[in-house]
Amino acid sequence: MKKFLAAIPQLLSSNVSIFIFLFLFIYLVVFGLIGLFVKAVAPSANAQLILGNYTNVTSALGAAIAAGASTAAHSSIKKLHATHDDLKKSLDELHAKVDKLSQKK
């Protein structure tokens, strides 16, 4: 279950997912606004009902973008911590070698 839950942000932030949300946003919101003036391009009521309402589409797009950003930040922080741990280990080894050299004198 944990693996499934951990995979959700990656799925939401995938290129396919963001493309779908952008398509829905353009179709429902942009064509909806244009459709106020030009009835031929207005999404039908059935299309709006099936594809989702404006609030859900924009919030899904925002969630996908946020999931991608948080996933990228999380992996970046993990790399930074690993680098920090390696540096600390190297410094500890260096201090041990310096202490060993100073004890020989």
Number of Cβ within 10 Å of residue 21's Cβ equals: 22
C-alpha to C-alpha distance for 67 and 104, rounded to whole angstroms: 56
Tens of pLDDT along the chain (105 residues) come to 778 877 777 777 778 877 887 887 787 777 777 887 888 877 777 777 766 666 677 777 777 777 766 666 667 788 888 899 999 999 999 999 998 888 876
Domain spans of the chain, in order of start: 2-75
Q: What is the pLDDT of residue 105?
A: 61
pTM of the shown model: 0.45
For the chain, the three-class secondary structure string (H helix, E strand, C coil) is CHHHHHHHHHHHCCHHHHHHHHHHHHHHHHHHHHHCCCHHHCCCHHHHHHHCCHHHHHHHHHHHHHHHHHHHHHHHHHHHHHHHHHHHHHHHHHHHHHHHHHHHC
C-alpha to C-alpha distance for 45 and 90, rounded to whole angstroms: 65
